[in-house]
Amino acid sequence: MTGFGKSECICGHKKITVEIRSVNGKGCDISLKTQVIPREKEIEVKQLLSSMLVRGNIDLFAISESETEHPGKTINKEVVLSYLEQLRQIAFASGEAPAFETLLASALRFPEVIDNSSSKEESQEILNENWLSIRSAIEQAASLLTQFRKTEGNRLQHDLLERVSSIKDYLKQTEVHDVERMETVKSRLKSKIEESVESPDMNRFEQEIIYYLEKLDITEEKVRLLQHCQYFVQTMENEDYPGKKLGFIAQEMGREINTLGSKANHAGIQKLVVQMKDELEKIKEQSLNLL
């Protein structure tokens, strides 16, 4: 869900620059950090971004820059002259005779010297008149962000497919240890019974073998884990916005891997389980970056 898009448009003598940034988020949280967009258009912009970007923490920045040398600000001459007269009287009263440039520099620091009211009204009028151009710039920035996401998504998809494939490979390797594990269990039980009883009951021995083999059997877990892996790949390849569902599937994969580890009773299988868990954690992290 991470992305960035930037666009520009010209409105009168002003250049509007729009930037949209997106990071991971469970929902669609949109923040408009600008005074360029008219207040009555904010809901429209949020609906536009929600429909185009779907999910994520989205910040929109827009700034207005003047394209001319005269931005439209004016000096309040009467206010400046009043300040100069008062400063001159104070200087004469104190016996000082400062230069005109010094008095002017001081006067220009006082409030209300620059009249921005007409400039603000003019700027707002320009923005309202050119709203369609601003909206078009927002759409273009959102489209560029979407393209950024697609590029990143293709890379993530390739990485996730490789990790799911690794889990399937580790799962297949458990079959080699599974046969050895069962034979070890049988030998251990037989040895314990022979040590404790001179003439063991073979029927009881067989019952114990069946009980422990059923208890330690991991066939169902392997089948379910393989099915989850296949479903993960199908979901990623066939759905437009698979991010949340992939997270749920990864949780189910984790349950089966944990059960494999608890029932393994074999060092080789335990090692493979650890490797599967490592791949799954990376899958969970990467899935958060998908819509």
Name residue 45's amino acid: V
Number of separate domains in the chain: 3
**Residue 59 C-beta-side C-alpha neighbours within 13 Å:** 8
**What is the average pLDDT value for the chain, to the nearest integer?**
81
pLDDT digits (tens, 9 = 90+) for 279-291: 999 999 888 888 7
Distance of CA 32 to the CA centre of its chain: 18
Does residue 170 sit in the same domain as residue 196? yes
- Domain end residue (candidates: 60, 92, 115): 115
Higher pLDDT, 177 or 272: 272
Q: Provide the 10 A C-beta neighbour count for residue 177.
A: 18
Strand partners, 61: 19, 33
Measured distance CA(58)–CA(18) in Å, rounded = 13
**Residue 79 C-beta-side C-alpha neighbours within 13 Å:** 13
Task: Please report which confidence band the pLDDT of residue 61 belongs to, taking 50, 70 and 90 as the band edges.
Answer: very high
Residue that the structure tokens 């929600």 belong to? 50
Does residue 88 sit in the same domain as residue 176? no
pLDDT digits (tens, 9 = 90+) for 156-199: 999 999 999 999 999 998 888 877 776 776 677 666 666 665 66
Share of the chain above pLDDT 70, in %: 81
Measured distance CA(196)–CA(116) in Å, rounded = 100
pLDDT digits (tens, 9 = 90+) for 224-264: 999 999 999 999 888 888 888 998 999 999 999 998 888 87
Measured distance CA(12)–CA(32) in Å, rounded = 23
Strand partners, 62: 18
Does residue 200 sit in the same domain as residue 132? no
Measured distance CA(63)–CA(21) in Å, rounded = 15
SS3 for 75? strand
Does residue 274 sit in the same domain as residue 207? yes
Strand partners, 154: none
* Closest to 276 (Cα-Cα) out of 161, 164, 175: 164
Question: Radius of gyration of the chain from Cα atoms?
Answer: 36
Higher pLDDT, 83 or 47: 47
Higher pLDDT, 144 or 85: 144
Does residue 230 sit in the same domain as residue 170? yes
* Closest to 167 (Cα-Cα) out of 289, 284, 288, 273: 273
CATH number (domain holding residue 64): 3.30.230
Does residue 57 sit in the same domain as residue 144? yes
DSSP 8-state secondary structure symbol assigned to residue 74: E
Measured distance CA(21)–CA(30) in Å, rounded = 10
pLDDT digits (tens, 9 = 90+) for 197-231: 566 566 666 666 666 666 777 888 899 999 999 99
Q: What is the pLDDT of residue 207?
A: 66
Q: Provide the 10 A C-beta neighbour count for residue 176.
A: 12
Does residue 203 sit in the same domain as residue 274? yes
DSSP 8-state secondary structure symbol assigned to residue 17: E
Share of the chain above pLDDT 90, in %: 32
Write out the residue range of the structural domain in which residue 23 sits. Answer: 3-69+122-148
Does residue 164 sit in the same domain as residue 183? yes
Strand partners, 288: none
Does residue 195 sit in the same domain as residue 274? yes
Higher pLDDT, 77 or 43: 43
Does residue 24 sit in the same domain as residue 96? no
Going by C-beta distance under 8 Å and a sequence separation of 6 or more, which residues neighbour residue 274? Answer: 261
Does residue 64 sit in the same domain as residue 138? yes
Does residue 143 sit in the same domain as residue 240? no
Helices (H), 130-242: 131-196, 202-216, 219-238
Question: For residue 249, what is the enclosing H or E element?
Answer: helix 243-264
Q: What is the pLDDT of residue 69?
A: 45
Q: Order across the sheet with 56-66: list the strands.
A: 3-11, 14-23, 56-66, 28-33
